[in-house]
Every structure is written in C-alpha cells, then in structure tokens.
Amino acid sequence: MCYNVFIGIGGNTYNITPKKPRKIRNEEKMILKELKITNFRNYNNLTISFNPDINIIYGDNGEGKTNLLESIYVLAMTKSHKLLIDNHLINSSSKFARVEGKILDEIMTSNMEVIIEPKKKQLKIDGDYISKINKYITKMSVIIFYPEDLELIKGSPMERRRYLNIQLSQIHPNYLNILNDYNKILKQRNEFLKNYDRNKQSDSNFFDIVTNTLIEKGTKLYQYRENYIKNINQNISDIYYSIMNIKKFNILYKPSINIDDYEKNRISKIFEEELNRNHDSEIKLGITLVGPHRDDFDFMIDNQNLKIYGSQGQQRVAVLSLKLSEIPIFKSYKNSYPILLLDDVFSELDDNKKNNLLKYIVNNIQTFITTTDLKSINQDILKKANIIKIKNGKIMQKGDI
Ligand SMILES: Nc1ncnc2c1ncn2[C@@H]1O[C@H](COP(=O)(O)OP(=O)(O)OP(=O)(O)O)[C@@H](O)[C@H]1O
Ligand SMILES: [Mg+2]
C-alpha cells in the first residue's frame, strides 16, 4: 500500500511519504537466533544457533546446562536470576564476561550485548551503548523457571515482592523508575522518622511532603501489582488444572493496606488513612509500617494456602503455572510471546504430569529446557527439538550424542 499525507504548517503544504513499513513476520514470538558467550561461568567461547521452537540442553550434573540458561537470562535482564553479585558470572580465570545475542521479535532483528567487568557493566543494543536499564530490559522478553523458584512459595515475602518487581519491570517501561523513586523516598522517610520531633513545625512540614510523595508513588505500585495479579488469575487456574487435574487454584494478593474490590479507585486515600493510623507506632519504631514494601501474595488451592498444605510436586507446579500464566500477559503488552527458559523442570513430576506440561508448552513459544535425562522427554518432542549436549562448558557434536 502506498499513500501520501499532506499536512499544512503555517500555510505551507508538505508532502510526506511515510517510510515503507517493515515487513511483519507471521510469527508473533520472540526468538533467540544466536548466542555468543565469552568467559561466562564455565564457558570460555561459545557461539550457538537455536531452533525457533524447542531446544533441549542436555548433559550430566555440573557440565554447564544451568549456566547456559543463565547467560540467556542475563542477556535479557542484565543480571542473573539468582540473587548474587555480578562478578560470580565472570569465568574464574578471566577479567570480564560477555554475552551477545541476536533476537527476532515480530518486526525486526536486534543485537543485544551485556559486558560484565568487576566494577562495571555495559549494555548495548545494535552496537549503541544503552545507559537506561529499563530501556534495555524491556527489549527482550524472557520467563524463567528454575528449581530455587520454589522459594517463591516457601520463602519470605521479600522473594515474592522481588518477583513482582522483576515481572512488572519487564512489561512496563515506567515501573522501575517508580519503584526506584518509591524506595528512595521510603529510605528518606525512615531516616526522618528516627529523629522526628512532632513539636517542630519545620519537621512536620517536611514530613508531610515526604509522606505525600510516598503515597503518590506507592499508589502507582499498588495499581500495577493489583492489575498484574488480576491478569495472572485469569488463566492460572486452567493451567494448573491442565497439568495437575486439580481445580480452583489462584493467587491471593495481600497488599499491606486493606483494598477490597469496591475500593480500587480509593487506593491513595486508604494508604493515607493507614499511614495516619500508624503514625504513633511509626515514630516509636522509626520505620514506615505500611506500603508496597510490605506487600505479599499467597498461592491458594480451594482457599487453602499451598505453603502450608501443598506437597512438593504441587508447589512446584504452582510456581510453574504462575510462570506460564505470564505468557499471555507478555503477549498482550509486548505483541510477541516471550522466550521460555525451563531449568530442571521435570524433577519431582511423574510421567503423566511431565507430558501434560510438555503438551502445554510446545506451542507458540521458543523454549529452552535443561535435563540430565533425555528419556524423560517424549519422542514426538525429541523429534522436533534441537538437542544440545553440553560437556564441561562445551558443545558436543551431533555424532557424540
Ligand atoms: N564463575 C565461574 N567460573 C568458572 N566456573 C564456574 C563459575 N561459576 C560456576 N562454574 C562452574 O560451573 C559448573 C556448574 O554448572 P551448571 O550449574 O550450569 O551445571 P548443570 O549442568 O546445570 O548441573 P546440574 O545438572 O547439577 O544442575 C560447576 O562445575 C561450577 O564450578
Ligand atoms: Mg543445573
């Protein structure tokens, strides 16, 4: 289609022929076509191309399967999914680590690059340095499931908040800015509370300003989180059912303030009221007692908390269902399906559940699965998949598998 647009500015008419639109690919999924890693964990130099559908990374314990998935995660998110300092990612006999990847979204190819040095990290897209982290991490979408994810159920509320923050930062370019602003103002408010003199007018004026900013930023965080969990709940129950055959699974958001369904448009008012109600205790303790920094959520089956009543396998599938329920959310916000990284996903699942899971994931998305045992994967999937055997940080040739 070719068309011209005429716009009049100050009496003149300009003829603007729009750039020819880029060719849209039929597939609506993000694809990692090629990965190049240098001095990353137990890898020295590795260049590898991937299948757009299923890639199975297979090998014995300790050979580098998780490290390879981690490098893909770092390429997208600039950090490891594990809570650790970046330096651990650098090969122990090297001075820097680099991960480069060629990704395709529904429109174009991009080259992403993360370079990690002991005190410095550089990010590039198509060769240009990127200084704003939110610009970088919203480019390539990944969802990861890994064994330690069970901590999302068993661990502290901090783990669950960290999870929400990571997910929301990937889909909303502004979320990370708001979160950073909130954390800064929270720190300032807590420091102030420690030395607060309520009889000093200047103190109370400053305190009101800080509190209002906290309410403004915190309300936005509540809205993002509430909406995200609502979207998750639209399909998590069906996913859990299709793997486990158990109905009525949902996530229960527990914001630190009491927002019920009828009061969604009053969040800032309720937040303010709760802060006022806690004012004396806050001064006594010297900390902010309510706000998104104290949020939590629970995994519920039939209104019972999975943390207390769930078996290990049920908990594992619950976290996995949470991750899988993010797929349509990414699609709706970012137009393409994310890349799915599944580390050691089959342990603790019986054969039936493994197959249910595989049936669920093979459509639409590029998937990377690690395993020590190819026998655990059904033949149909093995036939379609690109099987990559890893030994001591190197790829074995096809004939060696
Ligand atoms: N910074 C580093 N430099 C060099 N080697 C590292 C570094 N970090 C980890 N390793 C090595 O990487 C190996 C672990 O790799 P990885 O966790 O990927 O194994 P895996 O194949 O996933 O094993 P499993 O099947 O047990 O999960 C270990 O041998 C470890 O010593
Ligand atoms: Mg591993």
Whichever domain contains 284, its CATH number is 1.20.1050.90
Phi, psi of 133 (to 5 degrees): -65, -35
Distance 40 CA to ligand 1 centre (A): 10
Do residue 171 and residue 295 come from a single domain? yes
- Give the position of tokens 């607060």: 196
pLDDT at 346: 84
pLDDT at 4: 32
pLDDT at 398: 56
Do residue 292 and residue 164 come from a single domain? yes
pLDDT at 27: 65
- With the most atoms of ligand 1 within 8 angstroms of its CB, the residue from 44, 45, 58, 66 to mutate is 66
The reply to whether ligand 1 has any atom less than 6 angstroms from the CB of 92 is: yes
Do residue 251 and residue 391 come from a single domain? no
pLDDT at 88: 95
Do residue 199 and residue 311 come from a single domain? yes
Do residue 187 and residue 306 come from a single domain? yes
Q: Total structural domains in the chain? A: 2
The reply to whether ligand 1 has any atom less than 6 angstroms from the CB of 326 is: no
Residue nearest to atom 19 of ligand 1 (CA): 62
Residues across the chain: 401
For the chain, the first-to-last Cα distance in angstroms comes to 50
Atom of ligand 1 nearest to the CA of 64: 18
Do residue 189 and residue 118 come from a single domain? no
Give residue 187's domain range. 154-335
Do residue 188 and residue 323 come from a single domain? yes
Over residues 365-381, the pLDDT tens digits come to 999 999 998 887 888 88
Distance 42 CA to ligand 1 centre (A): 6
Residue 340 lies in a domain: no
Consecutive sets of 10 residues in the chain, 401 residues long: mean pLDDT of each? 32 39 63 97 96 94 97 97 90 97 90 96 97 93 93 95 95 95 97 83 85 97 95 94 90 90 80 94 94 97 92 91 93 92 88 82 86 86 91 76 53
What does 320-366 look like in DSSP terms, one character per residue? HHHHHTHHHHHHHHHSSBPEEEESSTTTT--HHHHHHHHHHHSSSS-
The reply to whether ligand 1 has any atom less than 6 angstroms from the CB of 67 is: yes
